Amino acid sequence: MAKQFDYDVVIVGLGPAGSSLAYQLRKSGLRIAGVDLVDINGIWGKPCGDAIGEHHFHETGMPLPSGEALANNVEGIDLYSPSEEVRLRVKGKGFMINRNAYGRMLVSEAEKAGVDIYLETYVRNPVLEDGKLVGVKAVRGDEEILFKAKVIVDATGTSGVLRRRLPKEWPVNEPLKPVDMNIAYRRIVKLEEEIEDPNYIRIYVNQEIAPGGYWWLFPKSSSVANIGLGVQGGRGYPHPKKIYDEILMKRRDVGSQVEVYADAGAAVPTRRPANTLVWDNFVGIGDNGYTVNPVHGGGMGYAMNAAYHASKAIIEAFQANDFTRYGPLWKLNLGYMRGIGAKQASLDIFRIYLQELSNEEIEWGLKNGIMKAEDAYDTSVTGELKANFSVLDKVKTLFKLLGRPSMLQELVTVSRYMKKAKELYLNYPETPGRLEDWIERVEALYREYKGKLGITW
Site for ligand FDA, rule CB under 6 A:
12-18, 35-38, 46-52, 122-123, 155-157, 159, 161, 184, 186, 228, 266, 268, 286-287, 292, 297-301, 303
Smallest gap, in angstroms, from Cβ of residue 265 to ligand FDA?
A: 6
Smallest gap, in angstroms, from Cβ of residue 165 to ligand FDA?
A: 10
Nearest to ligand FDA of 268, 340 (CB atom): 268
**Rounded Cα gap, residues 233 and 134, in angstroms:** 35
Decide: residue 143, CB within 10 A, 0-12 exposed, 13-18 middle, 19+ buried: exposed
Element holding 391 (H helix, E strand)? helix 389-394
Smallest gap, in angstroms, from Cβ of residue 225 to ligand FDA?
A: 12
Q: Which residues of 248-258 are buried (b: 16+ CB within 10 A; e: fewer)?
A: beeeeebeeee
State which residue has the least CB distance to ligand FDA.
Answer: 299
**Rounded Cα gap, residues 309 and 303, in angstroms:** 10
Nearest to ligand FDA of 37, 352 (CB atom): 37
Smallest gap, in angstroms, from Cβ of residue 75 to ligand FDA?
A: 16
Smallest gap, in angstroms, from Cβ of residue 352 to ligand FDA?
A: 19
Nearest to ligand FDA of 42, 429 (CB atom): 42
The three-class DSSP label of residue 18 is helix
Decide: residue 194, CB within 10 A, 0-12 exposed, 13-18 middle, 19+ buried: exposed
Adjacency order of strands within the sheet including 3-6: 3-6, 143-148, 132-140, 122-129
CB-based contacts of 127: which residues, under 8 Å, 6+ apart? 133, 134, 135, 136, 137, 146, 148
Smallest gap, in angstroms, from Cβ of residue 123 to ligand FDA?
A: 4
Smallest gap, in angstroms, from Cβ of residue 403 to ligand FDA?
A: 35
Task: Count CB-CB contacts under 10 A for residue 50.
Answer: 23
Nearest to ligand FDA of 115, 184 (CB atom): 184
Nearest to ligand FDA of 47, 432 (CB atom): 47
- Closest C-alpha to 457, from 174, 178, 158: 178
Nearest to ligand FDA of 188, 424 (CB atom): 188
Cβ–Cβ < 8 Å for 387, 354: no
Nearest to ligand FDA of 108, 368 (CB atom): 108
